Each structure stands twice: as structure tokens, then as C-alpha cells.
Amino acid sequence: MCQLVMKRLVEGDKQVEADVKRITASEVLPKTSQELANCIIHTAYLASKNSGQTTRDLAERIAHQVGSYHKFVMIDKICDAVEEAFTDYAITDDDGKVDEELRPKYLSQGGTRTTDLALQNIQARSRMVMSFMLAQLLPHARRRGGYLLVLSTGNVDEALRGYLTKYDCSSGDINPIGSISKGDLKSFLVWASTNLGYPALAEIVQAPPTAELRPTVEGEPAQLDEVDMGMTYNELGWFGRLRKMERCGPVQMFHKLRVMWGESRGESADEVAGKVKHFFNCYCRNRHKCTVLTPSYHAEAYSPDDNRFDLRPFLYPPMTRQFRDIDTELVQRRPSEIHK
């Protein structure tokens, strides 16, 4: 956008010139798109003790190339305060003694899946709180007037799978990428890295997607999105298109993918059935999250936007009949096997 504005300034567009002076509150026009971006775009890398150096470096590089006003913010104090409040009010007795067995811990520290997820969610939600705080007060900190809009960052695949926390970085004022799949976003980033002059985007595409919400344990693999989800983003892209654009439920999706993936990927019918069931189980459990997602720029026909373009239930019963029909077909395809 800043590049387009600068192009119009060079061409002598008086209306654009007036708008830029009004928005930047300066009679001096920016000379580059980076100078303009520094006035209107604010970015922050909201790190916790679980964040990695690689993602921090990538965030700083792309911010520098775009020209945004960038900040590095540690959110550990916020997370620690919430955890301490829970400890004080929920697992401390009247004598002030803490029940250490109930103190929330990550799985790697001896905790349960419930406590592990709660600790991850606190980090995610703290980022939302800090993002809105920065949006309201960064102009004040720069001795400027006005306020900012928060751009949220969730994409179609994360929404379909439910791989997000309610009221985390997926929450904001508007989501410019909320109706676009991970695969299509990566294709755009590759294009933009060359055609828009932001080479850091190509590095971001190559980096394994990771939430970085759990502590790294020596000798164990890092937390990766696709491992956590139990499916790849490429598979999610197919699930999303078939679900929305071709209106497939579990059975029809199984029929289509059995042929497509059987031919192109050599997957058995049982493997395809397992993936389709897993997707719909996750989709049904998490569809309620779509009811509070930030409005997104409507760019694709496969958008799962609950309030505007994908009006569907957000509470689902178990898909017992559909899964039974899939199992029945599997048995018919291999009658010699004993179905369990």
C-alpha cells in the first residue's frame, strides 16, 4: 500500500498528497515507502521465554525492510502475574500454603494436557491485551495524536482446524488475511519477496510454522504446528476447499480425497478416512471459535467467516452416522478383512 501511495505522490496526485500530509500530521512528504510506513504501520514482536531467536530475527528483518515502527516486547511479566493470581486465589489455602501438586505445569515439566494448554493460552491471550494497549498508546509514546487499528493474523486453515486460542493474536479490529489459506499466503509471500522487494518474506516461508508456546526441552523436537494439529497445512487447504466450495460433508470428502490422494500420493482408503474423520472431529469441536473471529477482508470463496460468508452451526453433535458410512465403505472395499 505504501508503495502505491508513493507512486501516486511521484505522479503528482494532489488528493493523495493532501491525505498523506493529514495522516502523517506533517507538511513534509515522505521520500520513500519505508518513511511512509514508519508513520502509519506499527509492528511488535511479542516474545515470551518460549520464543526463539530465529522468529525474532525474521520479525526484525521484515519490519526493517517494510519500514514499520517496530518494538520488541516481552510478555513474561503479564503471564507470570496471571499465573500468580491463579495460584493465590485457587490453590492456596487459608493459611497461605500452596498445593504444589496443583500448580500449573507444562507436560514436559510433569503437568497435564489441561495445565499445559492453559499455560499456552495465557501467552496467546496476553499478546492480544498487549496489542490493544500498544495500538492505543504507541502514538502517545511517539508524541503523536490518534490511535491505531489492530490487524489480527489468523488464516483460514487455523480457523478451520481451530488451531487458535479465543481472544489471542487472531483477535483485532480487522484481519487482512483471515479469508486466505496458508498455502495461498505462502505463494503470495514468495511473489512479494521478489516483486515488492521484501526478501525476508522468502525466509519466513521456509521457516517451519511454530507457535513457540511451550518450553524447549533438550533432546526433544521443537513445537511444530503440523505435528500439534495432526495434519499438514496442505491437507487443510484441501479440506477447506472441499468443505466450502464443493459443499462436502465427511462422506463426500472421503470419496473425493480417496481418489485424488490415492492416485497422487499413494494413500490407502484407510489413511484417507482417518484424516477426514480427524479433520471433521476438530472442525466440529472448534467451530464455535469462528463466532468471535475478527472480520476479515473477503478475498476467497473458501472463507470460513462465520458472520458473513459461511453461515453454519457452531455446535455440532458427533458425526456418528457419517463416520459409520465411511467405515461401511471401507469394509466393502476389503471384505476379507475384519473390521474393528
Mean pLDDT of 144-157: 94
pLDDT value at residue 306: 80
What are the pLDDT digits (tens) for 44-74? 999 999 999 999 999 999 999 999 999 999 9
C-alpha closest to that of 58 among 220, 187, 210, 223: 210
Q: Pull the grid cell for residue 174.
A: 480487522
pTM of the entire predicted model: 0.89
Residues 226/158, Cβ–Cβ less than 8 Å: no
Q: In Å, how far are 108, 111, 154, 216, 222 from 219, measured between CA atoms? A: 12, 19, 31, 9, 9
Helix (H), strand (E) at residue 45? strand 42-47
The single-letter DSSP state of residue 151 is: B
The pLDDT of residue 336 is above 80: no
Tally of CB atoms within 10 A around 103: 14
Neighbouring CB atoms inside 10 A of 143's CB total: 6
Q: Residue 338: which pLDDT band, with cuts at 50, 70 and 90?
A: very low
Q: DSSP secondary-structure letter at 258?
A: H
**Angle of CA points 220, 225, 231, to nearest 5°:** 110
Q: Which domains does the chain have, with CATH numbers?
A: 41-146 (no CATH), 151-340 (3.40.50.620)
Residue 280's pLDDT band, with cuts at 50, 70 and 90, is very high
Confidence at residue 219, expressed as pLDDT on a 0 to 100 scale? 61
Q: Does 88 score more than 60 pLDDT? A: yes
For 90-118, the pLDDT digits (tens) are 999 999 999 999 999 999 999 999 999 99
pLDDT in tens, 234-276: 999 999 999 999 999 999 999 999 999 998 999 999 999 999 9
Mean pLDDT score of the chain: 94
Percentage with pLDDT > 70 across the chain: 97
C-alpha cell read off for 38: 514508519
Q: Does the structure show a pLDDT above 80 at 220? A: no
